[in-house]
Amino acid sequence: MSVESIQTRVERDTSQFYSDGRLKHFLTIEGISGQKLTELLDLAQSFLVVEHRAIKKVPLLRGKTLVNLFFEPSTRTRTTFELAAKRLSADVLTIQSQDSSTRKGESLLDMLRNLEAMAVDLFVVRHAQSGAAHFIAQHVTPNVAVVNAGDGRHAHPTQALLDMFTIRHFKGDFIPLRVAIVGDIMHSRVARSQVQALLALGVQDIRLIAPKTLLPRTRWHPNVSHEWELQHGLKDVDVVIALRLQNERMQAGLLPSPEEYRALYGLTNDSIKVLKKDAIIMHPGPINRGVEMDSDIADGARSVILDQVHFGIAVRMAILSKLMEGSDREAAKL
């Protein structure tokens, strides 16, 4: 199936779009065209300068209120969403699961209704349950936008977008690239969203590298190959993305031991020799050093892991401002 036909198929899922194609929510990369992703990347590029100003703020979301709802641990996503919203001049609240009344038995929907009563404009949601952000998006009042900050094994679309920004920053054109994703693909919401984004942006050679027990059961797309031999999979690759072993989502018996995983699939000075000379090495974080990759690699010259974190702020500013632009135009029609 071609990239175009995949895009046509998934664009029937219009739940995150207004009828004229503008973004209403940001729940999944699925269904967002390469052109729309590129527009978001360009908008993010324009926000990079904000951090160099004496006052690191623009007034685009002044008067708006954003609530970060985090029901799972997070360092990067939660803080960069907070910073992105503050740099857009929004008022920001963060609620983490341990502080919320859901711990006392309140339902997610009741919690949502109470927060909506405080005139919130945007919810950013991380949840261990796949589909949680979609559920919230179905139940919020019109003109309230929902961003998926990672739901179960399903999707992590803002991570994928910041990864695409990082790849474009270092590599330019997507079409000729060979991209390898190494690790726990089976349990990874990040891998799913990355592959959707890479396909939408025209990448023709995507390799998923993992033990057979951690690979998807079927191929996602003809341009996505499965490899279980690391050296073969990494050969002449431009971009390597290592993924964390998600022990919290694994059933017993999928892996012999972290030591054996490192020996067969870890990024080490030896195993990366087959990459292209100018290849970049990425990881969404958090890293298990000495398992997915050695410290020499994580902190080495080819690593762009901290660039990913840095670019995450501008990319999240782009998503939030795009959603509020759509919401304001809808509100004007009421």
284 binds ligand CP (CB under 6 A): yes
Q: Which of 285, 297, 318, 322 binds ligand CP (CB under 6 A)?
A: 285
Task: Identify residues 190-249 at the interface with ligand CP (CB under 6 A).
Answer: none
Binding segment toward ligand CP, per CB under 6 A, in 25-33, 50-58, 73-81, 111-119:
73-81
Residue closer to ligand CP, measured from CB, 289 or 329 = 289
Please give the C-alpha separations between residue 325 and each of 18, 45, 71, 143, 157, in angstroms, as whole numbers. Answer: 12, 18, 27, 10, 19
Nearer to ligand CP, 178 or 187 (CB): 187
Handedness of CA 223, 224, 229, 232 (dihedral sign): positive
Among residues 233 and 284, whose Cβ is nearest to ligand CP?
Answer: 284
Q: Are 210 and 186 in contact (CB under 8 A)?
A: yes
Q: How far apart are CA 230 and CA 208, in angstroms?
A: 10
From 59-67, 96-104, 200-208, 282-290, give the range in contact with ligand CP by CB under 6 A.
282-290
Each residue 139-158 as x (binds ligand CP by CB under 6 A) or -, in order, gives: -----------x--------
d(CA 73, CA 287) in angstroms, rounded, equals: 14
76 binds ligand CP (CB under 6 A): yes
> 148, 159, 166, 196: which one contacts ligand CP (CB under 6 A)?
159
From 56-64, 72-80, 117-125, 217-225, give the range in contact with ligand CP by CB under 6 A.
72-80
Alpha-helix residue ranges (DSSP H) falling in the chain: 3-10, 34-47, 76-87, 108-116, 132-139, 157-171, 189-200, 230-234, 258-265, 295-298, 305-333
| Whether the Cβ atoms of residue 195 and residue 206 lie closer than 8 Å to each other | yes
Q: Which residues bind ligand CP (CB under 6 A)?
A: 74-77, 150, 159, 284-286
